Structure 1
Amino acid sequence: MKTLAVAVATGLVFTGTAHAEPSRVAHTSAKFESYSATAEAVTYDAAKVPTGAKVHVLGVPTPNGGTTVVLLLKGLLPDRAYGAHAHVKKCGAAPADSGPHYQNVVDPKQPSVDPAYANPRNEIWLDVHTDKHGFAFTKSTVDWQFTDRHAQSVVLHNEHTHTGPGEAGTAGPRLACVNVAF
């Protein structure tokens, strides 16, 4: 029921019969903390993503074959830009443990900086800018769904995502990570 409430509150609307509902909904609500084996949300830079800040992620396959991912953050630094993307692995002790960005069509050259692959149509990009209270909300909708490969986390980066050749998809150091079973 909590997932439905978040879906309604964020404007995600489903139509059709009960059996037409999406088959896999991913949802995580957590507070950022220092790494531990049981932490759902990890901060690697507590000066930029404070311990105790809250994160909510909702991933919903849409009836038309797409996916919408919603990111809600509370308690971050006020008036600040952050980049955010879905990543292929779970959060770990080191920022790089979450692996590269999840790509629907995988770039054979990793890390991917080719705009043909590193773009918001092939990846889940969730860049945000916090308000004066450290609150931010964003959503990304793509026209594909996760299949046998699933993203396993959302990583917050130091800056908004770059789009130019040779830097596409980059967003600076990884500041924090939240596990999400997409």
Structure 2
Amino acid sequence: MLHQRTRALGSLVGLCTVGALLAACGEQQAQTPPAEQQPGPAPIETTGTYEPYREGATAVTYKPDQVPPGSTAKLGVKTGGARTEVTVALTGLQPNRVYGAHVHTKPCGPTGDDAGPHFQQIPDPAKPSVDPKFANPENEVWLDFHTDAQGNGTATATGTWQLDRGDAQSFVVHETHTHTEPGKAGTAGGRLACLTAKF
């Protein structure tokens, strides 16, 4: 009888020990955040105040009546896993109107054309690129926006672009919304302003 009690007591102590270990492990796991909650790379941001072209200017307006000197742009690029998010916030433009906007391949210069063509993840061999197969919001970064009554606007685009490879260098504001039809795909009228940006 004493032998049975000793065995039962030993089993009970063993169960308590295992329970304590499991509880401790559970506490340890709860204190370690899952991998998906770990912070990713900090967003890359570029800000600029539009002005007429001068050497070294970050933000240039080519049409002061549409993008007035003193208006601003803030561009953010955030990468997480295979996805890239690009956001833009602008202030002080013409109120209540649509602007086209895209990421371009070269820095801003004295004219809007200096910013080069649109960034394309898979470059179109034909130039200019107006084929919807290449000129589309999945292959390019389209950031069209509509300003409010104060002339402020925002836009966000998300895709699998590799913007850090060296051929994304500016953000260009255009005079109309971006077209999608064959022969006009990707076009958005004249280039009104340019922000040399970090990607």
Q: Normalised by the shorter chain, which TM-score bucket?
A: 0.7 to 0.9
Aligned partner of 2:123 among 75, 81, 106 = 106
Report what 2:14 is aligned to: none
- 2:84 maps to 1:67: yes
Q: Quote the Cα distance in structure 2 between the aligned partners of 1:148 and 1:161.
A: 25
Q: Provide runs of 4+ in structure 1 moved above 4 Å.
A: none
Q: Within 2, Cα distance between the matches of 1:159 and 1:59?
A: 24
Of 141, 145, 157, the match for 1:124: 141
Letter of the 2:84 counterpart: T
Structure number with greater Rg is: 2
Q: What's the TM-score once normalised by structure 1's chain length?
A: 0.86
Larger RCO, structure (CA 8 Å, separation 6 or more): 1
How far has the Cα of 1:66 moved from its partner?
A: 1.3
Deviation, 1:135, is 0.7
Query: Which residue does 1:82 correspond to in 2?
Result: 99
How many residues get paired? 165
Aligned-pair CA distance for 1:147 = 4.5
Matches within 5 A, 1:133-152: 133-152=150-169
Verify the 8 A CA contact 1:162 1:170 in the aligned structure 2: yes
**Runs of 5+ consecutive residues of structure 2 not aligned to the other structure:** 1-35
Shift of 1:29: 1.0
Q: In the superposition, relative to structure 1, how do residues 59 and 150 fare at CA in structure 2: closer, same or farther (>3 Å)?
A: farther
Which letter does structure 2 place at the counterpart of 1:127? Answer: D
**1:49 — aligned with what?**
67
**Contact 1:150-1:181 at 8 Å conserved across structures:** no
TM-score if structure 2 supplies the norm length? Answer: 0.79
Q: Structure 1: where are the runs of 5+ without partners?
A: 1-14
- Alpha-carbon distance in structure 2 between the residues aligned to 1:151 and 1:69: 12
Cα distance per residue 1:36-56 (max 9 Å; x no partner): 112100000000000000110
Higher helix content, 1 or 2: 2
The question of whether the paired residues in 2 share the 8 Å contact of 1:66 and 1:145 is answered with no
Relative to 1, partners in 2 of residues 1:30 and 1:147: Cα closer, same or farther, differing over 3 Å? closer
Distance in 1 between residues matched to 2:44 and 2:124, nearest whole Å? 25
Q: Does 1:96 align with 2:93?
A: no
* 2:181 maps to amino acid: G
* Structure 1 residues 147 and 48: CA distance shift in structure 2, 3 A: closer
Aligned to 2:15: none
> 1:158 is aligned with what amino acid?
E
Using the TM superposition, give the Cα deviation of residue 17 of structure 1 relative to its aligned residue in structure 2, in angstroms.
2.2
Percentage of pairs with the same residue: 46
